[in-house]
Amino acid sequence: MRKIFTCLVLCYSALFAEDHDSPKEPEPKELIPLQTDQFTASFKRMLWVLFAVVILAIITVWILKKLTKIRQDQHNKFNQIKILERRTLSPKSTLYVVEIARKRILISESQLEVRKIETLPHLTELEEES
């Protein structure tokens, strides 16, 4: 640990050490507009990069949402248990309409439990009743 600390101290002391051998020359006034132009160009470049990062983040979130939906749809095609619909009631509670063996069931999920609320009639049963 001491070796690492000593190495860091030596590296940073070399970076921040002032050069006392050469006298400092005053900066000419002609460089000030050039520095302002460089600052403006750097600031504009920074804003463009920030804008690009935000757009990239939005596109990434959109793609991830699409991929998760596609994955859920694929699971629903080949499995006996299908999640037909999902509604979030609050951050900690959700309602699901699930189809199991051609029966539709309304299920609630909370932080503490998953509970069956009701067995829903299938679409063919609703058509036969009317």
Q: What are the 10-residue block averages of pLDDT along the chain, 130 residues in total?
A: 64 56 58 70 92 96 88 74 88 91 89 89 58
Taking the C-alpha atoms of residue 121 and residue 21, their distance in angstroms, rounded to an integer, is 91
Give residue for tokens 């050069």.
19
How many separate domains does the chain show? 2
- Residue 95 shares a structural domain with residue 110: yes
- Residue 55 shares a structural domain with residue 85: no
Taking the C-alpha atoms of residue 123 and residue 48, their distance in angstroms, rounded to an integer, is 53
| HSE-up of residue 42 (Cα within 13 Å, Cβ side) | 6
Q: Please name every residue paired with 81 in a beta bridge, in sequence order, or none if there are none.
A: 100
Supply φ then ψ for residue 35, to 5 degrees. -65, -35
Tens digit of each residue's pLDDT (9 = 90 or more) over 108-129:
999 999 998 888 886 555 555 5
- Residue 47 shares a structural domain with residue 89: no
> Are the C-beta atoms of residues 71 and 86 closer than 8 Å to each other?
no
The model's pTM: 0.43
